[in-house]
Structure 1
Amino acid sequence: MIPPFTVPKRRSAHRTIVPSSYLYTMIRAVVFDLDNTLVDFMAMKRQAVDAAIGAMMDAGLQLTFDQVKEHIDSIYAELGIEYQKVFDMLLENVLGYVDPRIISAGIIAYRRAREAALKPYPHVTATLMQLNRKGLRLGILSDAPTREAWLRLCFINYHHFFDEVVTFDDTGKRKPDPAPFRLILNRLNVQPHEAIMVGDWAERDMVGAKNVGMKTAFAKYGDSFGNQITEGVDYVLDEIKQLLTIVEV
């Protein structure tokens, strides 16, 4: 059931291994979270925000770096990491208006740093290519807004890998709500037991997938929050290429 490299340390070493051929016959589709599963979103976000702060200070924002960072972090904490008007709100809160020089400097610096920092994790491209060659259906299930998810996929030239993409905008529900999971399964035309969910957030990606009957693979390599592995997780991936062993590619 669980290959040796995926067994959490706290579990017993005595286990029954299901033949990989059986696992393959059961898996027809792989569904991926996007951020911190395919791309290191948090590292990109940190670098882009830091660059924007420096640029806004150079353009005349009279605050220290730490003060600006604290304001931005509080906005993201309240409105979500994908909130698109964070610099507008920052300037409204600090200055009482949006200074066009300062916000333009921040936006340009943010975009340049984002493009430089947005990269896939090691082995992601090769893994997706092999899954495609095998004929598996591939999907994205993301809590990001539709446009932002597609921008990230297109920027790293991954948009052609995936048969279906479901985002927050498609259902208005975030993981672990069952609605987005059911929608991606329906669009991929597979039953829950025929699909495996790969994601970095145990409480959202893994719990939500398990609740609708999907297999689960926890992307430990992308875990930014120090999540504890839930007892129901089927596999733990230290590298994404280990997924190929699970689906017998």
Structure 2
Amino acid sequence: MGESQYDAVFWDIGGVLLDLDSVRAGHRAFVGALADEYDLDAEAALEAWRDELGTHFRERDGNVFRSARAGYERAIAAMVGHEVAEDDWLPAFERATREQLEPVSETVETIRTLDGRVHQGIVSDIDTWEAERLLAQFGVASHLDRVTTSEEVGRTKPDEAMFETALDKAGIEPARALMVGDRYENDMVGASRAGIQTVAFGGSAADADPDDPAVNHRIGDPRDVLALVGIEDAG
């Protein structure tokens, strides 16, 4: 192991730990099950779900947090034509998504390898309940030191409060931390403004101009983070 200039690694969830295609598959499976239950056209139901959920988040006031669970309830009501009690839809949602959701396996491997070597945290625009079930399902909850969600902070990235909260939990100076994310504005610009060093992995973050000062490192594989923190060999 070489000497590292970093003492903490912060991970995004969507697109970094969680495969986004599997999220879409999970939502499709859930909506399909609901369409069967209410005798709806599956494709029309899926379109209504996506439209209403998108509207829910677009109506957010700047970086103020909006609950995904509330968005799901709203989208379901738009699909079936009336409100559905949470007890009637949440178990089916959790079951359908649990069967479909897949992690980015290289990120899981890296988180496990870094356990005990650096502080590891999650910084994600997600409901806390959803973060907790994903981290448990993917077997990484016990390997992480702290989790920071938008529901907890009340703000979404790129708001500096998200990153400052994570730094406070870690007790780490910003320049000693890495933020691994896939979204340019939310992860790269937000973390950079907070003084955190950034790592672009896929998405709009990877598409940033090569000379963009908001992007400090670029990786094609999450395991490349090991070398950044001075671990050359995962074994």
Structure 2 residue ranges without an equivalent (≥5): 58-65
- Contact kept in structure 2, 1:142 and 1:168, CA below 8 Å: yes
**SS across alignment from 2:115:** helix
Give matches, 1:136-155, under 5 Å. Answer: 136-155=118-137
Unaligned runs of 5+ in 1: 1-19
Secondary structure, counterpart of 1:120 in structure 2: coil
1:117 equivalent to 2:100? Answer yes
Name the CA distance, whole Å, in 2 between partners of 1:94 and 1:243: 42
Q: Name the SS for the 2:68 alignment partner.
A: coil
* Residue type at the aligned position of 1:28: D
Task: Specify the structure having the higher radius of gyration (Cα).
Answer: 1
Identity %: 25
* Residue matched to 2:46: 69
Deviation (angstroms), 1:247:
1.3
Contact 2:16 2:107 in 1 (8 A): no
Cα distance between partner residues in 2 of 1:158 and 1:196: 18
2:198 aligns to what SS in structure 1? strand
Alignment map for 1:20-169 (pairs within 5 Å): 24-40=3-19, 42-62=20-40, 64-80=41-57, 83-86=68-71, 88-90=73-75, 92-93=77-78, 96-98=81-83, 104=88, 109-133=92-116, 135-169=117-151
Q: Partners in 2 of 1:108 and 1:170 — Cα distance?
A: 23
Alignment map for 1:201-240 (pairs within 5 Å):
201-220=183-202, 223=203, 228-230=207-209, 231-232=212-213, 233-240=215-222
Q: Which residue identity lines up with residue 179 of structure 1 in the other structure?
A: A
Distance 1:91 1:118, change over 3 A: closer
Paired letter, 2:162 = P
* TM-score normalised per structure 2: 0.82
Q: How many residues align?
A: 219
SS at match of 2:16: coil
List per-residue Cα deviations over 1:118-164 (Å, max 9, x = no partner): 2221322321122124x211111111011111111112121111111
Give 3-state SS (helix, strand or coil) of 1:248's partner: coil
Poorly superposed stretches of 4+, deviation over 6 Å: none
Please give the alpha-carbon distance, in whole angstroms, between the structure 2 residues aligned to 1:25 and 1:200.
23
Deviation of residue 215 (structure 1)? 0.8
8 Å CA contact 1:72–1:86 kept in 2: the answer is: no
Give the Cα–Cα distance (whole angstroms) in 2 for the partners of residues 114 and 219 of structure 1.
24
1:198 to 180, 183, 189: 180
**Alignment-derived partner of residue 60 in structure 2:** none
2: CA distance between counterparts of 1:130 and 1:90?
Answer: 39
> How many angstroms does 1:94 deviate by?
5.3
SS state at 2:199 partner: strand
Contact 2:9–2:178 (CA<8 Å) still a contact in 1? yes
Closer, same or farther in 2 for the Cα pair 1:95/1:181, shift >3 Å? closer
Per-residue CA deviations over 1:21-61 (Å, capped at 9, x if unaligned) read: 5xx43201111111211121x22321122112322232233
Opposite residue 39 of structure 1, the aligned amino acid is: L
TM-score, reference length from structure 1: 0.78
